[in-house]
Every structure is written in C-alpha cells, then in structure tokens.
Amino acid sequence: MISVQELDFNQQVEYDRLKSTTKIGAIVTFTGLVRDINEGQGVSDLALEHYPGMTEKCLQDIVQQAQQRWNIIDFTIIHRVGQLTISDQIVFVGIASQHRGDAFAACEFIMDYLKTQAPFWKKETMANGETKWVDAREHDQHALTKWQS
Amino acid sequence: MISVQELDFNQQVEYDRLKSTTKIGAIVTFTGLVRDINEGQGVSDLALEHYPGMTEKCLQDIVQQAQQRWNIIDFTIIHRVGQLTISDQIVFVGIASQHRGDAFAACEFIMDYLKTQAPFWKKETMANGETKWVDAREHDQHALTKWQS
Amino acid sequence: MIKVLFFAKLSEQLGVRELQVDAKNAEDTKQLFTHLLNHKTEWASILTSQPCLKAVNQAMVANDVPLKDGDEVAYFPPVTGG
Amino acid sequence: MIKVLFFAKLSEQLGVRELQVDAKNAEDTKQLFTHLLNHKTEWASILTSQPCLKAVNQAMVANDVPLKDGDEVAYFPPVTGG
C-alpha cells in the first residue's frame, strides 16, 4: 500500500495490517518525525510540498526495485504532505517478510531512495518566524552507494 | 529498556515510549513472529527457554556495543519466553535516533547479535505432535560478518 | 503544447507553478530550457544559479530527451522528503 | 563447589538441569568437562556428539578458563532465540 496524504497515521493500525498472514516472521517499520533541530536551528513548523502523480509513480517504482532484490510479503509506504509541526510523523515504511534480513534491507533501501528520488520538498519555519527551504543533504546521496554493488 | 517476559507486548505502547523527545527524527522497530513454517515443516506451537540472569546481561552487553557504534537516543528490547503459538510476537527491538542510518544499523546489529549470542532456545511442536529443538542456522552466524569490518 | 511545471523554491522564485509552451519551441528538453531562460528577464539567473532537476511525464531524466505535443515537463530542486 | 547448569536439548538429554561439582575436580573448565564426561555412562557420547557452548559466570567463553569455588558454569547448544 502506498499513500500520500495530509492525514496522520497510526503505528498500531499499520503494524496490524502488515501482520496479516502466518507466513510472516519479521516486520520492520521506519517512522520519520519532525525534529526540533535541523542544521543547528530551532524548527517550529514544516510544510511539505510534493508533485502529485509523479510521487506515487516514483514510490511504486522504488518498491518494485526492492521487490526484485528481496523477498517481501507485504509493504506499506505512507508519506504526509501539508502543514506539520514538531514531533509530527512524516513518513512510515513498513515491510513484512519471512526473514529479518529481507525486511531490514528492503525498508532501508526504500527510505534511502525515497529521500533522494521521490518529489517531496520541505520548507521549515524557524522559531524566529523565518522560513527556509530545506537543502538536500550530500549524506543522503552517499547513502545510496551501499545498494549499488 | 530490556525485558525478558512471558507476557505479550503492544506495538503502539512501545512505539510511543520511544517517541518521547523532540530530538528524535527516526524510529526503527523490528518484530519477530512465530511463522507457521520452519524448514518446510508445519509448526503449531513454540516453547522458548532461556538462561535467566545471563540473558539480561548478554542483551545489555549487545546494546552497549551498539551504543558505542551509533547515536542512539532510546532503545527497547523485549524477548518473550514460555509457550507461544503461530503468529505470536516473539521479540521486539526498537531504536530511536536523530537520523535513520543510526536507527537502522543499531536495530539490525542488535537482532543479529541477539540471534547468535543471547541464550534463548526454541522448541517447536509440529502439526503432527512431534517436538523438535530448533537448530541454529549457519546463516545467522554469517549475518555477523557485515558488522566486523 | 508542452505543460511545464515548477516546484518548491524554484516555483516560488519564478513566481509561477505552471506554464504552457508551444511544442515548436520545445523539440527537446534542451530547447525548452533555452526557451525558459529567455521567458522573463530574471529567469536565466534563477534557473542557472542552483541545482535544478527535471522530470518528463513524471519520470526523472538526467540527460536531454525529445519532446512531443502533450508532454509534461517539471523542474524542481533536489528533493528533501522523508 | 562449582554450580553447573545445562539448558535446552542438552539438559533434556542428560536428564538434569543443575549439578554441584567439587571445586577440586574443576580447577579449570577443561578439567570440569572431563569430570562431566565420566559422570554417567551415556554423558560422554551426549556431550561430545553435538556442538556445545559454555558460559562461566553468565558470560560465554570460547577457550578453557580457570575456575574457583562458587563459580557458575553453563553448557548449552547454539542459541536459537529471536
């Protein structure tokens, strides 16, 4: 399941949905939250813009790549857009597999590619009221190298 | 938090506990479940034995190693013992960090070491009523090599 | 016509989110980009002063590719979701 | 005395979970193991026919180590939790 939505999501609901068959031996979930500090500056709010249409296609494509590499029984990707604030949930990726190795790798792979390829953009509002588009991190590009061997 | 317990645990409760400060940007959880098939045989029940005292020390030691390698804001390890059945939750490892790389690595590291070093033993009851101690998997030993560079 | 979209900081700076460009001014993404550089006085400096990714029909492309009437081309900064 | 513990399949096969061994028969884990091999007729074959890990005072040890009165030594199969 892939969803781009303004609404918040619930960890238990998503976990239960992934835990749907008795073949599943491992569930890995990742949740991304709005931190209060980014690059050393106090953040108060976050606006998330995306490219409707392309976003869903891009996430589907990333999942297909993961499915070609690992044994995935079920998956969920939820990414929120719109106005968020400190400690809000931004993104959820959950993978259900027979074995833990597949679940860990697929979950991290999807997050690493989502971070560098899915068309979302964050705009932060600082504690002092200034707004600033978040810069892409070199580190996120670098994280892809571990999947390219 | 480290707990070895007969009682079941709740994903939402554990997740909420990890999400306790606004510094946290990433939460990774792993949950291990009783699968209905192990090594091709239908499993109906599972008994988990452990070495009280050593188990807790061993898990504490694994967490300390993870803390030396990665930035961990909070962690939870829960491992159940006693009688379990199909689809029951066996183990939970949750990591809260500022960044996702630390959370993924620490969570998988802890599971890989738990699997090969923590003194738990599984005994399966098959659909036909036969019982069998589960054999250690070569594959689990091999999983450690990725942490030894 | 070619439908051209801008996102995030780029759309804020250009002051526009969507634009229609005659397909004869956009036989490929290279020609389209040159056309956009000349669209308004300040556009050349905005579009060339920062990293700018492009997607054709909602798939990112690294190099220049041919375009045809009805295509959708988007320009945006490096992504920062997740 | 040395407190000796067995777990899982090993304890099932030996028919015992705990045993006290006089410290003078167990100056180190090697001597203790030899003592256990001779504890009952079938113990030698049980203890040598399968992989058997050991922990001294609740920490796994790979090689033989010295023992002293009051130590706790455990023998068990490779672990299978998680």
Residue B127 has pLDDT above 90, yes or no: no
Per-residue pLDDT, B36: 84
Judge whether A22 is closer than 8 Å to chain B, CB to CB.
yes
Which CATH number fits the domain that encloses residue B104? Answer: 3.90.1170.40
> What pLDDT shows up at residue B40?
65
What does each C-alpha distance from D81 to B82, B91, B105, D24, D77 come to in angstroms?
12, 9, 20, 35, 12
Query: What domains does chain D contain, in order, with CATH numbers?
Result: 2-76 (3.10.20.30)
pLDDT of the residue at A20: 87
Q: What is the pLDDT of residue B37?
A: 74
Q: Which residue of B has its CA nearest to A102?
A: B108
Is A139 among the domain residues? no
pLDDT per residue as tens digits for the range D10-67: 999 999 999 999 999 999 999 999 999 999 999 999 999 999 999 999 999 999 999 9
According to DSSP, the residues that pair with D73 across neighbouring strands are D4, D56
Q: Are C2 and C69 in contact (CB under 8 A)?
A: yes
Chain centre to alpha carbon of residue B29: 10
Which of A27, A115, A142, A149 is the best residue to mutate to test the B interface, defined by the most B CB atoms within 10 Å of its own CB?
A27
In a domain, B144, yes or no: no
Residues (pLDDT < 70) of chain A are 38-40
pLDDT band at B128; cut points 50, 70, 90? confident
Residue type, B21: T
Full domain range(s) for residue B106: 2-133
What's the pLDDT at B60?
A: 98
How many distinct structural domains can be found in chain A?
Answer: 1
- Give pLDDT, residue B42: 78
Determine the distance in angstroms separating the CA of B37 from the nearest CA of chain A, rounded to an integer.
7
Q: Does D82 touch chain B (CB under 8 A)?
A: yes
Find the helix packing angle between B100-117 and B54-69, rounded to 10°.
Answer: 150
Query: Is the C-alpha dihedral spanning A20, B29, A89, A148 positive or negative?
Result: negative
* The pLDDT value given to residue A42: 77
CB contacts < 8 A, A to B, total 95
From the list C7, C76, C80, the residue facing A122 with the nearest CB is C80
Look at residue B139 and tell me if it is in a domain: no
Out of B27, B33, B100, closest to residue A19 by CB: B33
Give domain status of residue A27, yes or no.
yes
Beta-carbon contacts of D41 under 8 Å, excluding residues fewer than 6 positions away, are none
Alpha-carbon span C80 to B65, nearest angstrom: 32
Q: Where are the alpha helices (DSSP H) in chain B?
A: 11-18, 54-69, 100-117, 138-143
Query: Quick one: CA torsion of C70, C71, C77, C82, rounded to 10 degrees?
Result: 100
Closest by CA position to A124, among listed A54, A31, A49, A50: A49
The stretch C12-17 carries a mean pLDDT of 97
- End-to-end Cα separation, chain B, in angstroms: 28
| Helix/strand/coil for D6 | strand
Chain pair B-D, CB pairs under 8 angstroms: 74
Q: Does A116 touch chain C (CB under 8 A)?
A: yes
B103: nearest CA partner in chain A? A30
Domain membership flag for residue A141:
no
Is the pLDDT higher at A35 or at B37? A35
